[in-house]
């Protein structure tokens, strides 16, 4: 089983719908992140959380919200999805201490029609 699990893996929805992407991890890491990947661009940070009570905006947080339900769970919500939010979304984790390596989930492909 993957250490970082994302659900759903694929989702097609319509403009205006609320969508939640979920992430859970078994690595025991404190830090969790949500990234967005678009073709030809590097991964862009949406939100990150360093512990359960800590939530921080990344470079492209507009239109997204997150919830850190537990150390192992971090969900991303699109309150009212729009077509330009069609992308591949990745959850990632890293340890509080150590050299700073990111471990990624398998991705959630979201299509907004």
Task: Please give the residue ranges that form the binding site for another protein (CB under 8 A).
Answer: 4, 6, 31, 33, 40-45, 48, 50, 56, 58-60, 90, 94, 96-97, 99-107, 109
Residues 75, 58, 33: CA angle, nearest 5 degrees: 40
CB of 82 to another protein, least distance (A): 20
Query: Measured from the CB atom, is 3 or 67 closer to another protein?
Result: 3
Query: Measured from the CB atom, is 45 or 52 closer to another protein?
Result: 45
User: CB neighbours (10 Å) of residue 112?
Assistant: 20
CB of 67 to another protein, least distance (A): 18
- Distance from chain centroid for Cα 55: 12
Q: Is 9 in a helix, a strand, or coil?
A: coil
CB of 17 to another protein, least distance (A): 23
Beta bridge partners of 77: 20, 65
CB of 16 to another protein, least distance (A): 27
Query: Measured from the CB atom, is 58 or 63 closer to another protein?
Result: 58
What is the rounded CA–CA span in Å between residue 79 and residue 38?
Answer: 20
Query: Measured from the CB atom, is 1 or 59 closer to another protein?
Result: 59
Question: Is beta strand 54-57 parallel, antiparallel or unpaired with respect to 65-70?
Answer: unpaired
């Amino acid at each position: 089983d993957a250490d970082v699990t994302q659900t759903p893996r694929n989702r097609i929805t319509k403009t205006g719908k609320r969508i939640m992407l979920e992430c859970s991890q078994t690595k025991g890491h404190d830090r969790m992140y949500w990234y967005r990947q678009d073709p030809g661009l590097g991964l862009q940070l949406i939100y990150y959380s360093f512990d359960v009570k800590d939530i921080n905006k990344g470079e492209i947080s507009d239109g997204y919200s997150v919830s850190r339900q537990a150390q192992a769970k971090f969900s991303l919500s699109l309150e009212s999805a729009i077509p330009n939010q069609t992308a591949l979304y990745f959850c990632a984790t890293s340890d509080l201490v150590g050299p700073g390596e990111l471990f990624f989930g398998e991705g959630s492909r979201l299509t907004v029609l």
